[in-house]
A = this chain, B = another copy of it.
Amino acid sequence: MPYNAAAPLEKMIEKLAMRSSLLDGDRAALISLPHSIASYDPGSYIIRDGDIAVRCIVLISGFAFRHKITRHGGRQIVSIHMPGDIINLNNIHIGLSDYNVQAVTSCTAVTIPVKDLQELLIDNSAISAAFFTISLVEASSYREWMLNLGRRDARGRVSHLLCEFAVKLDTLGIGPGQSYDLPMTQEQIGDAVGLSAVHVSRTLKSLAQDGLITMNKRGIGLPNWNRLKDEAGFNARYLHISE
């Protein structure tokens, strides 16, 4: 059952289809890509800065993030990835990794030889356009994160991250929109928004006190989506989820 065996790739295909219309033939071409399954423990590195990558890795379950580290040890998380994401999209055309990818939770992934993907892109312009578009949307997200890091205060930064998470989980059909499990420690949140873990704690508490969010354990509740969005200056447009 080749089709069934390829079921994991469906998550990636759905993401691609969100970005560019794919015909049945395109889907079949994607499913027939040679690939294998890998799994990763929480905290383990999937890719290391400086690696030469020869396989593209598609996250199937779990969460992972990309990060970079300064010479002084400062860590910056640059993106957070969910099932269906290609966690090293750049390696399609650039061998050298300029970031680390680390599993947040237990992760399973599909790995595909870059060579095979490149050949597919040469043969199939629709799929090529879909991958290209994914990369352009990633860049859009990076721009919004830069705005967050450079020009918003602590409350704005944290609430913006919470908003983005809510919308992306909702798109995946994971969270109900009202509340969700945040699979990150406060230290990781801090590394994503350029704050210390301590200050993230304070900021979350402050947001909770003002009724913008509720918290229990790792769960985040969004009792007042509009006020949270307003605090964050959040506009989902940059995610280009539906045009």
Mark A residues whose CB is within 8 Å of B: 19-20, 66, 68-72, 74-76, 78, 89-90, 92-96, 98-99, 118, 121-123, 125, 128-129, 131-133, 135-140, 142-147, 149-152, 156, 191, 193-194, 233, 237-238, 240, 243
Q: Which of B75, B96, B140, B143 contacts A243 (CB 8 A)?
A: B96
Partner of A146, one of B125, B128, B146: B146
Assess the B131–A121 pair: CB atoms within 8 A: no
**Which residues from B are CB-within-8-Å of A78?**
142-143, 146-147
CB distance from A8 to the nearest CB of B (A): 24
Complex CA distance for A133 and B90, rounded to whole angstroms: 8
16 contacts between A and B (CB under 8 A): A19-B93, A70-B147, A78-B142, A89-B139, A93-B133, A94-B133, A94-B137, A94-B140, A94-B243, A118-B129, A122-B125, A125-B125, A125-B128, A149-B194, A150-B194, A151-B194
Contact between chains at B136 and A70 (CB < 8 Å): no
Q: Which residues of B contact A240 (CB under 8 A)?
A: 94, 96, 98
Flag if A135 contacts B135 (CB, 8 Å): yes
A19 to B108, CA, bound (A): 32
From B68, B132, B156, give the contact of A132 (CB < 8 A).
Answer: B132
Which of B93, B121, B136 is in CB contact (< 8 Å) with A90? B136
Across the interface, which residues of B come within 8 angstroms of A131, CB to CB? Answer: 132
**What distance in Å separates the Cβ of A141 from its nearest Cβ neighbour in chain B?**
9
Which residue of B139, B147, B151, B193 contacts A150 across the interface (Cβ within 8 Å)? B193
Q: In the complex, which residue of chain B has the Cβ closest to the Cβ of A136?
A: B90
Contact check, B20 vs A140: say whether CB atoms are below 8 A apart: no
What is the CB-to-nearest-CB distance from A183 to chain B, in angstroms, rounded to a whole number?
A: 20
